[in-house]
Structure 1
């Protein structure tokens, strides 16, 4: 059977580290408060002259190198992001130019924290139909540019970075077994960016009213995330006739340690089967799963034949899962 198989992974994050102790000097909080409620200890913040495409390009180059694929062999470049370099053109087009993927179609996917899984699902379908042989899927964010650094409800949570995978058409049993994506737009106001679109253009009033910053109702998002991520995880397993006992490594969206622990508990997974790097990067939205995957891959946490489950939830609301045999 023809499957979409991940043959290379890569990630890139800024050099600048913002710790909880740094945040103590910026807002009314403490390292203990942040760690207890989120599990985050530090996050990476983009510097001057660094953009979403900066990290997306670096991650892409690393993934291509691991896969042994040249950029001009790519048929498709997809970037999942809510912090593109520009409203248009797509950041994927910027990355395509940077890496010289001259033969690839390129576009962005906007599904917030589920963006990488949405992009992987699209690439997998193109490969299954035989229209694409090699694809590059990236999750990349510079969330620090849409955060109100005086709002402790949000500024504690987010970080910047990118992760990428090369996905190739391969015969055999290894590869993506299934992908599952969902959304419920009735909850769009729980997590969104009010301004900089056609509804609220980027006017001086929008700036003065702080509409240019991410807004989130965290408690409501938390409850919906736990339920949706648990359900879609079981959906993905059921599609392949598997149970949680078959999972060798669970790589969830790195949003909040309590969410990750709750999902792991619902799946009955021991801690050593759940990959967590949230403490070092915070919530990097669409970038979180591919960054975690690259770290797991390069540290030999995954071996050939392992069953790996990805699971994400984000603004939209959107959520999804992907099950792979590595």
Structure 2
């Protein structure tokens, strides 16, 4: 089998850093406000007005270009993107991103279904594609851009869920070599838990694309919160344990465990399920909030630039999506520490 390596990661956070007090001034009484699901981070970043998903992706990719060279980025054979809030309703940003990079990949794919688990899933997909003869490299990009656009709407920002998300973008470069091998991947698809139209609210009710009054928001109630907690607490350790079994290690032997970051309670529960101390389960929640799919690459890049992921470390990434319809994990032998 061809060996595929994750040789570099990079990220971008919008310049607008927003404190929790900004949302506090608009908060309205709610029975959900005391739920651990909605205990806000200290800060989050919001995308600038007029800043597109491709603009964010280019900012995240720039360090990869600086370190690996323009030719390495422009010459990728595979480009995969996940965008939380596509700027156009029928497609993601991969095609435009390839054009603005000056790249001409053989594979250009927008990955929509995997939500917060998109980064390990894209590593799996890219690794499979790179098994083909003649393909040498892949770029995977996760954009979260909904916080400053959806969650700051005048009717939405008062909701307890509004203060949780933040915006950001993370990118990874994969190549066919053995510098930082992708050791294992695992995915779970549970379509019975996929989001339905009832998971979105508009008042007065209408389809999201129909004209009318009222602002789109994600719907929450106590029953939904309980279901999401039960599924998320199970799914993230489950796929993480799966890749550990494939690699032949026990979960406590993992050097760095990086997950998506919905809230502090999930982070604690996942760490305990892996039997890991806090220093081996880094997160960026209090600085960035819930970055959805961008959470894993942003946290990886933050830790890597700080020198806390030495080369040779066993890094396991794991996440679940939406209300529990998808989960993905990947194990990598780290080789991207700064020189």
When the two structures are superposed, what TM-score results if normalisation uses the length of structure 1? 0.89
Distance across 2 between alignment mates of 1:239 and 1:226: 21
CA-CA distance at 1:28 after TM superposition: 3.3
Deviation at 1:322, TM superposition (A): 0.5
Aligned to 2:325: 317
Partners of 2:16 and 2:86 lie apart in 1 by 20
Equivalent in the alignment of 1:143: 146
Contact conserved, 1:158 with 1:284, CA < 8 A, in 2?
yes
Give the root-mean-square deviation of aligned CA atoms: 2.6
Aligned to 1:123: 126
- The match for 1:61 is 62
* Cross-structure match for 2:11: 11
Q: Does 1:275 find its partner at 2:276?
A: no
Gap regions ≥5 residues in structure 1: none
Alignment equivalent of 1:186, drawn from 188, 192, 198:
192
1:156 Cα deviation after fit:
1.7
Contact 1:52–1:161 (CA<8 Å) still a contact in 2? no
Write the distance in 2 (CA, Å) between the matches of 1:218 and 1:177: 34
| Structure 2 segments unaligned to the other structure (5+ residues) | 335-339
TM-score (norm 2): 0.86
Q: 2:128 is paired with a residue of what secondary structure?
A: helix
Q: Secondary structure at the match of 2:58?
A: helix
The 2-side partners of 1:179 and 1:246 are apart by 17
Aligned runs of 1:164-183 on 2, under 5 Å?
164-171=171-178, 174-183=180-189
**Matched residue, 1:87:** 89
1:283, 1:12 → 2: CA distance? 15
When structure 1 is superposed on structure 2, of 265-274 and 215-224 the one drifting more is: 215-224
CA deviation vs aligned residue, 1:229-253 (integer Å, no higher than 9, x gap) = 1111111100111111321111111
2: CA distance, partners of 1:61 / 1:241: 36
The CA distance in 2 between the partners of 1:224 and 1:165, in whole Å, is: 28
Structure 1 residues 53 and 9, CA, compared in 2 at 3 Å: closer, same or farther?
same
Q: Contact 2:37–2:225 at 8 Å: present in 1 too?
A: no
Query: How much does 1:131 deviate?
Result: 5.1
- The Cα of 1:204 is off from its aligned counterpart by 2.0
How do residues 1-326 of structure 1 correspond to structure 2 at under 5 angstroms?
2-28=2-28, 38=39, 40-68=41-69, 70=71, 71-110=73-112, 111-130=114-133, 132-144=135-147, 145-147=149-151, 149-171=156-178, 174-189=180-195, 192-193=199-200, 200=207, 202-205=209-212, 207-208=213-214, 210=215, 212-216=216-220, 217-315=224-322, 317-326=325-334
Q: Given that residues 9 and 64 in structure 2 are in contact (C-alpha distance below 8 angstroms), is that contact kept between their aligned partners in structure 1?
A: yes
Shift of 1:152: 2.2
State the 4+ residue runs in structure 1 displaced beyond 4 angstroms: 32-37, 190-195
What whole-Å deviation, never above 9, does each CA across 1:184-234 have from its counterpart, x for those lacking one?
121223795578xxx9351124x53x4x33334333212211111111111
SS at match of 2:3: strand
Paired residues, what number? 318
1:128 counterpart SS class:
coil
Asked if the contact 1:60–1:164 (Cα under 8 Å) also holds between the matched residues in 2, the reply is: yes
Task: For residue 150 of structure 1, report the CA deviation from its aligned partner.
Answer: 3.7
Moved more, 138-147 or 265-274: 138-147
CA deviations 1:144-203 (Å, max 9, x no partner) are: 22335245232021111100011111036x4111111112121223795578xxx93511
Q: Aligned equivalents of 2:139 and 2:201: distance in 1? A: 30
- The structure that is helix-richer by fraction is 1
User: Helix, strand or coil: the match of 2:27?
Assistant: coil
Mean Cα displacement is larger for which, 140-149 or 287-296?
Answer: 140-149
Distance (Å, rounded) in 1 between the aligned partners of 2:37 and 2:66: 39
How far 1:7 moved relative to its partner?
1.6
Cα deviation per residue 1:29-61 (whole Å; 9 max; x = unaligned)? 7xx969996461111111211122211111122
Question: In structure 1, what is the Cα distance between the partners aligned to 2:230 and 2:165?
Answer: 19
